[in-house]
Chains A and B, each alone.
Chain A
Amino acid sequence: MNNFLQRVIIEPFERFFEKVLQFLPDFLSAILIFTLGIVLGFILRAVSLRLFRTIKLDKFSERSGVVEIIQKGGIRETVSLILSRIIGWLTIISFSILSLYSLEVPAIGQILERFLLYLPNVFVAAVILFFGYFLSNFLGRAALIASVNAGFKASGLMGKFVKLTIFLLAATMALEQLGIGKETIIIAFAIIFGGIVLALAIAFGLGGRNLAKKYLEKKLLKGEDKDDIKHL
């Protein structure tokens, strides 16, 4: 009976305990590295922010037009703050990876390896999304203002449509870069985009037939009822 208890309960428990004892230092060092990473991330973020402000990076960015590009994308933070945040997060992420490595678990090692090989794709996708976001905001606003100035009644809709289309295009490109449902996404985008264009064409063709007729008659036959004000 004793032998049975020894083999079924005590020995596995001892083996488990041994493994825990072996793993515990790695686990503790991983937690330590992770904590260190967080602390260092915050310190580096604060130090770099101070450094960037001391060297007047924001003024330089303003002069070189970087601020304008960022603001076009609707981001209100200063370049110093953005860069210091990036430094902080990079530090935290690097230390997190280090801490996972220090666990010396083969499965985690393999996952990390694959993750590291996959990282460039993530970076490129992030860049595409980043520029896509800027561009969608910029072109959406440009379309909105141009349609308002042209007297187009559905200007708001036009602005939103342009913004969404550009962002969707960027998101599709980013997902393709990540290798997520490559064909599916492209086909889905083509179907959605083509569908919208077809829907608009049908809507304008059927619903707006009379309106288009009136507009063309006004434009081609009588000319628009404009005023003669010379602005300059």
Chain B
Amino acid sequence: MDTINLRKEIQKKLADIKKTDILVGIPSYNNARTIGHVVKAVQAGFAKYFPDKKCVLVNSDGGSTDGTAETVQNAGIESYQTILINHRTTPSFKITTPYHGIPGKGSAFRTIFEIASALDAKVCAVVDSDLRSITPEWIELLIKPVVEGGFDYVAPLYHRHKYDGTITNSVIYPLTRALYGKRIRQPIGGDFGFSGKLARFYLTKDVWETDVARYGIDIWMTTTAMANKFKICQAFLGAKIHDAKDPGADLSAMLHQVVGATFELMDTYFDAWKNIEGSEPEPTYGFQYAVGLEPVNVNLDRMLDRFRLGVKELMGIWKEFLSEGIRVFLCEIDSLPRENFHIPDEVWVEIIYSFAVAAHKKIINKEHLLKSLTPLYIGKTASFVIETLESSASDVEEKIDRLCVCFEKEKRFLVTNWN
């Protein structure tokens, strides 16, 4: 596999650092508003929890024009006493470098993996640059399971608002859980810990010109770890509060990249998932507590309008791979009033599995296929919102769990129709 050429000054810096115990990567693109806080939290995490380890912070930037790189360079702990420690015993380093390749988070991660490999890092972690709720404890929780527990991959576990992360809740989590039999609640969480061994394994894969280089990187990292039998656990990080992801990106593009990467991985790892039945919980670290979350505004009428428009106009595309029963159902609920609007779990599962099979069999162009899922996804999200308007966080979690069980039960449909 081709490696990327790092800039000369970065190569010189790496030659000076030689090796590191811990490396934390922060991908960024115009995040000057929030990245300073993230850098401080990471450095405080190094000082507080790994004072005797050699630590490196890498900011892999996509050509920000708002001063992100300067913010990273200038951000730091002004006084270690504020975080109740006297000083660090081992110095920590900071590297800011632009990444190469297709613009996107995946390409930023690739540069981080390259630097981790060059420095022979024992443990790595990556955290998003738009986080507002990150604390130094996140670094401890993402790193320690690898250092002390011998795990290769630490997935995050957050408290999120019931309407935050709806692609995760309605598609990615249930689907990956049913496929690989592991209950990783936030497979596309964005903040992960992993061993140096796994970072080097990631670099051996030639995926950097695909959707993995964009939003697909998170699901790719999690699935690659699961399917290749790396030791996995979860770490409870508290609340996840962050800026909206890339406000310029539209929902259908996000859905296309994330779901597309998941479907592509289903092709790659068919032998790994075809015989798995049910699922099992993974070890979870961190002290779990309830947190208050910001309310989320939902425009239900707009969502239902989008769903209805999709049913009216895209049925001609869907009829090539959705069963007649599903199509009749979609036409029926299309005319229902808002309060009666409901897409049952069984219907949603069949829709997602049918899309996965259609993508596998290349029934129509993949981008068209995945983008045509958008109105159905919006419909399912609207149905979810209507059903959970009065529900508590735990009720919602139970509801998501029921959806996951439905995905597991109906897996036979997927396997049978796959070939």
Contact = CB atoms under 8 A, between A and B. Distances in A.
Interface stretch (A8-16, A190-198, A201-209, A220-228): A220-228
Q: How large is the interface on B (under 10, 10 to 19, 20 to 34, 35 or more residues)?
A: 35 or more
A230 B313 CA distance: 26
A72 interface: yes
Interface in A105-136: none
B94 to A, nearest CB: 28
Contacts of B164: 229-230
A148 B163 CA distance: 23
A148 B314 contact: yes
A225 B368 contact: no
A167 interface: no
A229 B166 contact: yes
Given A145-B372, A148-B310, A228 B364 contact: no
B371 A145 contact: yes
Interface residues of A, number: 27
B362 A67 contact: yes
A231 B306 contact: no
Q: Is chain B's binding surface mostly helix, strand, loop or mixed? A: helix
A159 to B, nearest CB: 8
Interface stretch (A19-27, A80-88, A149-157, A210-218): A149-157
Interface centre among B306, B313, B314 (most CB of A within 10 A): B313
Q: Is chain A's binding surface mostly helix, strand, loop or mixed? A: helix
A68 interface: yes
Interface in B210-255: 215, 242, 244-245, 250-252, 254-255
A149 B363 contact: no
A62 B361 CA distance: 10
Interface string B264-305: 000000000000000000000000000000001111001101
Interface in B304-349: 305-306, 309-310, 312-314, 317
Given A227-B303, A232-B167, A148 B375 contact: yes
Contacts of B362: 62, 67-68, 71
- Leading 9 A-B pairs by shortest Cβ distance: A227-B299, A149-B252, A228-B297, A227-B298, A231-B167, A228-B296, A155-B313, A149-B374, A230-B164
25 contacts: A62-B362, A141-B364, A144-B313, A145-B371, A149-B250, A149-B375, A151-B309, A155-B313, A156-B312, A159-B313, A227-B296, A227-B297, A227-B303, A228-B163, A228-B298, A229-B166, A229-B296, A230-B296, A231-B165, A231-B255, A232-B165, A232-B167, A232-B168, A232-B215, A232-B245
